């Protein structure tokens, strides 16, 4: 999503743009998410600092977190910085910058949705957080009130009785819910990226298959090998998502990036939900999709190329079945993808400090799908020497 939107915004400013992907747009990280454009996501995901939560996570007792022991030594420096940046004070500072991106979430997508004729994929009825315990519900209501006061985020609170009426598919009594009114659901997120890419091609852009590892530099120009031959350009944008860390390390950049992997599985559709649901205390989302009912998991801390481990999906499947009575899984195998995360919870956008003509646009963590259009616009504004829509200092690659 981020790379495709960057290409579109550069194209709109008169640049001759070639989009190079090892596969095709929309087939990697954006393909498998929960399909949400999260207008409520003004706060980045902080690392929980509660010792009980951390101990339970370490012992594999929680559904929303899992980890591979062999990945932790490599990730530890970035994770330690993530932990230190997750204090209330530092998280509030990160939110000030992060919220500037989220403020343009749906408004950034809408022109691209219209131009790509993708309205049929979009439902604008919101996104619901549901809570199992009264304490979690009370905390959720307090947070909703705070986000409305500080950021104008609109929500509706439903108690247990009202939630049961609104979502009759729920099989167990919940304490209540927060309905985020302005978030949008996408019934096929991969298809939305593909339609944005088709719009790029329709306006004269080229999409080629190639490998970023073939990138080289001759004089003042960059060149990459593709299926159509060598492509040369004076400026290049690195928007490699979870593969960016390994790539920029080869160029001499040491950035505190790490991976959170996630899974999804589709199930037969008869379960009726009015909108996507987040089972807040268990850390998974159930979302109606064109392919069926999609169940997405929380975070798995693992190497990007490590074999899939089904433990987290099995845990959430059991919880979701208890909640809504999932139908049989579809025969397609579970999907596995990776989220590119930074230790300070902010994406990396701007000029590469050591390489003239190179630009970075990656590290969007959980919200690359939500922030793709505004991130693409911001980088295009920087490249074309326009005044960016928001202050970019917090996102600069030079901060590391």
Q: What is the pLDDT of residues 49-90, one digit of tens each?
A: 999 999 999 999 999 999 999 999 999 999 999 999 999 999
CA dist 175 and 188 (Å) reads 30
Q: What is the CA radius of gyration of the chain?
A: 21
Alpha helices in 183-264 (DSSP H): 189-202, 244-250
Closest CA to 241 of 309, 333, 156, 342: 342
Within 13 A of 37's CA, how many CA atoms are on the CB side? 28
- Model pTM? 0.95
- pLDDT tens digit sequence for 306-315: 999 989 999 9
340 phi/psi in degrees, rounded to 5: -85, 115
pLDDT of amino acid 327: 86
**Residue labelled with tokens 């037969």:** 268
CA dist 4 and 21 (Å) reads 10
**Residue labelled with tokens 């729920």:** 170
List, for the chain, all residue ranges whose pLDDT scores fall below the cut of 50: none
pLDDT of amino acid 341: 97
Residue 144's Cβ-count burial label (10 Å; 0-12, 13-18, 19+) is buried
For the domain spanning 1-38+85-118+185-256+343-400, the CATH number is 3.50.50.60
Average pLDDT, the chain: 96
- pLDDT tens digit sequence for 163-210: 999 999 999 999 999 999 999 999 999 999 999 999 999 999 999 999
pLDDT of amino acid 272: 87
Contact 76, 145 (CB under 8 A): no
Q: Measured in Å, how far apart are the chain's first and last C-alpha atoms?
A: 24
Q: Is 160 helix (H, G, I), strand (E, B) or coil?
A: helix
What is the pairing mode between strands 122-123 and 184-186?
A: antiparallel
CA dist 56 and 67 (Å) reads 12
CA dist 171 and 168 (Å) reads 8
Q: Is 172 helix (H, G, I), strand (E, B) or coil?
A: coil
pLDDT of amino acid 320: 95
pLDDT of amino acid 213: 94
Residue 164's Cβ-count burial label (10 Å; 0-12, 13-18, 19+) is middle
CA angle 366, 265, 325 (to 5 degrees): 110
């Amino acid at each position: 999503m981020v790379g495709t939107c960057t290409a579109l915004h550069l194209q709109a400013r008169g640049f001759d743009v070639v989009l190079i992907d090892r596969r095709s747009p929309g087939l990697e990280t954006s393909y498998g998410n929960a399909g949400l454009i999260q207008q409520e996501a003004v706060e980045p995901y902080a690392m929980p600092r509660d010792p009980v939560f951390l101990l339970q996570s370490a012992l594999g007792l929680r559904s929303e977190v899992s980890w591979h022991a062999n990945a932790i030594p490599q990730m530890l420096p970035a994770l330690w910085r993530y932990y230190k940046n997750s204090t209330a004070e530092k998280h509030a500072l990160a939110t000030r910058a992060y919220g500037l991106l989220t403020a343009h979430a749906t408004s950034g997508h809408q022109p691209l949705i219209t131009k790509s004729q993708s309205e049929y994929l979009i439902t604008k009825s919101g996104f619901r957080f549901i809570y199992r315990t009264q304490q979690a519900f009370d905390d959720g209501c307090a947070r909703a009130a705070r986000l409305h006061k500080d950021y104008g985020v609109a929500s509706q609170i439903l108690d247990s009785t009202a939630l049961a009426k609104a979502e009759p598919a729920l099989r167990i009594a919940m304490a209540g819910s927060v309905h985020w009114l302005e978030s949008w659901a996408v019934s096929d997120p991969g298809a939305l990226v593909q339609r944005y890419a088709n719009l790029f091609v329709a306006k004269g852009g080229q999409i080629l298959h190639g490998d970023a590892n073939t990138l080289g530099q001759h004089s003042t120009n960059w060149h990459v090998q593709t299926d159509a031959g060598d492509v040369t350009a004076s400026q290049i944008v690195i928007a490699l998502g979870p593969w960016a860390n390994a790539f920029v390390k080869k160029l001499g950049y040491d950035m505190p990036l790490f991976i959170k992997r996630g899974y999804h599985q589709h199930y037969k559709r008869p379960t009726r939900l009015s909108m996507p649901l987040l089972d807040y205390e268990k850390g998974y989302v159930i979302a109606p999709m064109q392919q069926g009912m999609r169940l997405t998991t929380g975070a798995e801390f693992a190497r990007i190329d490590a074999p899939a481990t089904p433990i987290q999906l099995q845990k959430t499947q059991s919880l979701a079945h208890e909640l809504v009575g999932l139908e049989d899984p579809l025969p397609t195998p579970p999907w596995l993808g990776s989220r590119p995360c930074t230790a300070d919870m902010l994406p990396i956008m701007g000029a590469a400090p050591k390489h003239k003509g190179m630009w970075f646009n990656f590290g969007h963590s959980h919200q690359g799908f939500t922030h793709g259009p505004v991130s693409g616009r911001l980088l295009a504004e920087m490249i074309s020497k326009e005044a960016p829509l928001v202050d970019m200092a917090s996102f600069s690659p030079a901060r590391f």
